[in-house]
Structure 1
Amino acid sequence: MDDRIFSDGKISKILLRFAIPAIISLLVAELYNMVDTIYVGRYIGANAIAALTIAFPIQRFLIALGFLVAVGASTYVSRNLGEKNFLEIEKTIINAFVITLTLMVFMTFLIFFFKESILYKLGASNVTYSLTNEYVSIVLMGGIFQCLGLVGCYIMTSLGNTKITLYANSIGAILNIILDYILVAYYGVGIQGAAIATVVSQIVSFFFVLYRFKEVFKSFKIKISIRSIFSSLSLDITSGIIAIGFSTFVIEISDAVVSVILNNLLYSKGGDTAIIIIGVITKISMFMFIAIIGISSAMQPIVAYNFGAEKYNRMKETVIVSIKTVTIISIIFAAVLGFLSNEIIGFFLMDEKILPSAVKAFRICISLLPFAGVYYIGIYYYQAIGEAKKSFFLSIFRQLVVFIPLAIIFVQILGTLGAWIAYPISDLISSSISLYLLNKASKKDIASDKLPSKKVALN
């Protein structure tokens, strides 16, 4: 473990050192998630894509729980690393894994018990229910392993291992592609085969992370036993992890909430065809978030470390460099995806009658998404310095406060087109608000929870 990676050298180089593996890792992760869609769309049919779309909120909810703990714990670790508080790091690690295991076991059983009613409320019809049920019943089993692996990766990243998430996701993605081909394309197992491929990949990826995490146990002399676990459990640390990570949880769960509302709105106006279109758009537009989330999340441990080390000028420089970088790179992503949208969407969607409408909808949805980069920079920045209220406000603003009301109104007026138009308007409004808050913060001092006697100057 070498914490000089956070404090020495040019900010742009440090940011890229974290961001490049993060972006590639997210790219791999999206391929991981898209593989099922590709195979079921090509070898089972469009209704299978609808089934995966309906299942998406459940998967998003489970991974949101993982991010809740992962982001909270990693930020806690980065700050304490800057303060050289190694005992607190040890306790944070143990608390993080206990929280994750408890949450995931409880929520998995709860979802499974109420599965039928949940799926219908998520937009399943008599046509798509059986496929959705088959898929969800299996993928629920992989959520625990996926989230435990995620927490392990984020903690190691906060300690300077910038490539662990990339390696873990790559192993899972490659295995998922192979298993999907064998089970879905070759043996024709169907949507159950896609689900089995996903779960097996998540389990193998988790055990890889667990193997690499031995370095952390050794470095901090952490001994796993019932006695050591109970002695390390702390309500203050648990609440701190949840408070810091809650904004990321809200961002993730907002996607699930939006998906539920959109599924029902669009089904009422366009039937299963509209569900298929939004499913494809959601999967492909996630590529746009690769640069945005990758750079924003890469910025977070750098800001958190320098906040703990009281190097406030480097904090400000990190934020400025991050905003410039995320805007430029995400514009490039948008241009490429927009130009090749017909070919990309056509790869997923074989139905030529639906394809033109899907391409048009996709181009509208991503038209202003690059400018949302500053919105996510704001969220991750306030998380890093412990400003939970501002981070929470921003986390709910784009999807829950702006997009959902706009989508409901526009769909009633314009039909399915209204849903597509609501996306760029929401991106414009949310990015403007975040830029305003960050600009306002740069003109005044922000009081620190950790350092109450000092003022953190951002200008």
Structure 2
Amino acid sequence: MTSVERSERMGYEPIGRLLLQFSIPAIVGMVASALYNIVDRMFIGHAVGPNGIAAITVAFPFFLLIISTGILIGVGSSSQISRGLGAGNPERAQKVMGNGFIAMVVSSVLVVTVGFTFMDDLMRLCGASPIIMPMTKDYMSIVLWGVPFQLIGFCCNYFIRAEGHPRYAMGTLILGAFANIVLDWIFIVKMGMGVKGAALGTVVAQFGAACWVIAFYVRGVGQLRFVRSAFRPDRSILTEMAAVGFSPFMMEMFFVMVMILFNRTLSRLGGEMAISAMGIFFSLDSILFMPAIGIGEGAQPLIGYNYGAGNFERVRKTVYLAMGAAVGFFICSLIVAQAFPRQLTMLFNKDSQELISMTVRAMRIGYLGLPMAGIAIISGFVFQALGKAKQSIILNLCRQFFFLLPPLLLLPPFFGVDGVWATFPIVDVGGGVLGWFMVRAEMKRWNNSLFEDN
């Protein structure tokens, strides 16, 4: 099947089959990517205990900072690469890729330098107490050396998908995730290295993923190549990269600040045990939450293609089917979270009854609004697919700012740690209701435009 035929089938093949075909690679990739932090926390929870989980959780905002940088470069570059290839200008696309690598190198140097220079201050800002600070520093002092590999693997996956090779990009995530599992078992269980072993396993796995994506270009799998001329800085490319990637970068940066606030609030109200409980909560959240994002990623090209073709009925069907699938998945996740919270928590630690009780409490409260999150997530992908950047930004800002930040500031003083967990259902329900009304309003505009044309 030619690339043209692959695109055209989005306009006539059954939507359910297409959504399944497009979503499965994204879901697999999402889950594989989530395994990095999950596996680290599982091994550390059993080998070191609750304080070990807390030490890694405190460092999580720093990981989000690196991901934010990767999003800025990856989104800002992949858009230019796709358009360059689509316009029959592979030289331009190749130069964009080269400038993306330049941005990765510069960003890596900055992040590593800042991380080592201000490590104590950064970790205290992220909520590290004197008790867990030594373990957090042990972890960070190794993980920082993996920043260049993490950025290469993360950003190049955007480039590879932009060339039309999503399965190879999925392989990057799977390779890194399973390598991390094996290495954690060796370094933590067999060699007894604790949090240092978790950090070393992560860095080596990231190095392997970086080699995998570089091999894509060295072997000539796609159209783009490593050419010396492509690595000359181009102001216009770098400027557009920053402009296109700025919005998702800022959204992720806001989440970094929210995570810091979570850590500091929980540290103040519940100490290391509360931070550890949140670490387990977010680890489980990756498995119970990420597949719905994969459904959204699978629906996005179908929505965009049919919207561009003026086939609004297929767009509606895709939106409703994607929302139904996401809500259905979250209903199943809610049932699992409410029925087996203790068993899920014990995957990370079996010895601390205080940690188990606190995490079970977090899951009981935090997942109450989960089904509505399916509507919010798919709504965001809908507006991205339609090219409605303004609506997408409004929806995401409302979810993270109006529905999350005020409850996180107002509820804990009255309800303690429970007030922190209660912010999650507020975000899910508020974002779901707002997303539904915004998507319905957008669909009404399609009806009006059709009526005016007639």
TM-score of the two chains, using structure 2 as the length reference: 0.88
**Equivalent residue, structure 1, for 2:429:** 428
- Aligned twin of 1:408: 409
Which residue pairs with 2:64 in the alignment? 60
Aligned-partner residue type, residue 367 of structure 1: L
Q: How does 1:64-79 map to 2 (within 5 A)?
A: 64-78=68-82
State the partner residue of 1:294. 294
CA distance in structure 1 between the partners assigned to 2:318 and 2:235 by the alignment: 32
Shift of 1:428: 0.6
Tell me which amino acid in the other structure corresponds to 1:99: A
Q: Is the 8 A contact 1:371 1:431 kept in 2?
A: yes
- Check the 8 A contact 2:142/2:200 in 1, yes or no: yes
Alignment of 1:120-131 (within 5 A): 120-131=124-135
2:191 maps to 1:187: yes
What does 1:232-381 correspond to in 2, within 5 Å? 233-235=234-236, 237-304=237-304, 310=309, 313=312, 315-350=315-350, 351-381=352-382
Structure 1 contact 18–162 (Cα < 8 Å) conserved: no
Aligned to 2:443: 442
Is the 8 Å Cα contact of residues 217 and 224 (structure 2) preserved in structure 1?
no
CA 27–404 in structure 1, closer or farther in 2 if over 3 Å, else same: same
Identity of aligned residues (%): 29
Aligned partner of residue 404 in structure 2, secondary structure: helix
Match of 1:36 among 18, 37, 40: 40
Distance across 2 between alignment mates of 1:210 and 1:311: 39
Q: Which amino acid aligns with 1:135?
A: Y
1:59 Cα deviation from its structure 2 partner: 0.7
Distance 1:336 1:73, change over 3 A: farther
Q: For this pair of structures, how many residues does the alignment match? A: 444
Contact preservation (8 Å) 1:138, 1:196: yes
* Cα distance in 1 for residues equivalent to 2:16 and 2:86: 19
Distance 1:208 1:151, change over 3 A: same
Q: CA deviation at 1:419?
A: 0.9
Aligned partner of 1:230 in structure 2 is 232
Give me the whole-angstrom Cα distance separating, in 2, the residues matched to 1:3 and 1:78: 15
Task: From the superposition, tell whether residues 214 and 382 of structure 1 become closer, same or farther in structure 2 (CA, over 3 Å).
Answer: farther
5+ unaligned residues in a row in structure 2: which ranges? Answer: none
Contact 2:41 2:56 in 1 (8 A): yes
Moved more, 108-117 or 293-302: 293-302
Q: Distance in 1 between matches of 2:78 and 2:14?
A: 23
Q: 1:393/1:108 Cα in 2 relative to 1: closer, same or farther (>3 Å)?
A: farther
- The amino acid that maps onto 1:66 is G
Instruction: Kindly state the Cα deviation for residue 339 of structure 1 after the two structures are TM-superposed.
Output: 2.2
**1:57-92 superposed Cα distances (whole Å, 9 cap, x missing partner):** 001111122123333444455566666665654444
Aligned to 1:451: none
CA contact (8 A) 2:345 2:360 kept: yes
Partner in structure 1 of residue 391 of structure 2: 390
Please tell me the residue identity of whatever aligns with 1:408. Answer: L
Which range is displaced more, 153-162 or 243-252? 243-252
**Counterparts of residues 117-266 of structure 1 (less than 5 Å):** 117-214=121-218, 219-220=222-223, 222-225=225-228, 227-230=229-232, 233-235=234-236, 237-266=237-266
Distance in 2 between the 1:245 and 1:331 partners?
33
1:343-376 deviations in Å (ceiling 9; x for gaps): 1111212301321221121121122123212222
User: Which amino acid is the alignment partner of residue 197 of structure 1?
Assistant: G
Residue by residue over 1:84-108, the C-alpha shift from the partner in whole angstroms, topping out at 9 and shown as x without a partner, is 6656544443343333333233223
2:75–2:245 contact (8 Å) kept in structure 1: yes
- Secondary structure of the 2:444 match is coil
Quick check: 1:50–1:272 contact (8 Å CA) kept in 2?
Answer: yes
Kept after mapping to 2: 8 A contact 1:176/1:197? yes
Deviation at 1:247, TM superposition (A): 4.2
Q: Deviations over 1:97-124 (max 9, x none)?
A: 3333332332232222211111111111
CA distance 1:63–1:102, shift in 2 (3 Å): same
Q: 1:219 to 1:51 in 2, by over 3 A?
A: closer
**Residues 70, 245 of structure 1: 8 Å contact kept:** yes
Moved more, 351-360 or 322-331: 322-331
Q: Measure the CA separation in 2 of the matches of 1:221 and 1:245.
A: 21
Shift of 1:288: 2.4
SS of the residue corresponding to residue 166 of structure 2 reads coil
Specify whether residues 239 and 392 from structure 1 end up closer, same or farther in structure 2 by C-alpha distance, changes over 3 A only: farther
TM-score, structure 1 normalization: 0.87
SS at match of 2:131: coil
Contact 2:187 2:193 in 1 (8 A): yes
Contact 1:244–1:383 (Cα < 8 Å) also in 2: no
In structure 1, what residue type is equivalent to 2:54?
Answer: A
For the residue of structure 1 that corresponds to 2:403, the secondary structure is helix
Q: 1:165 & 1:219 partners in 2: Cα distance?
A: 12
The separation in 1 between residues aligned to 2:188 and 2:32, in whole angstroms, is 20
Contact 1:322 1:377 in 2 (8 A): yes
Secondary structure of 1:324's match?
A: helix
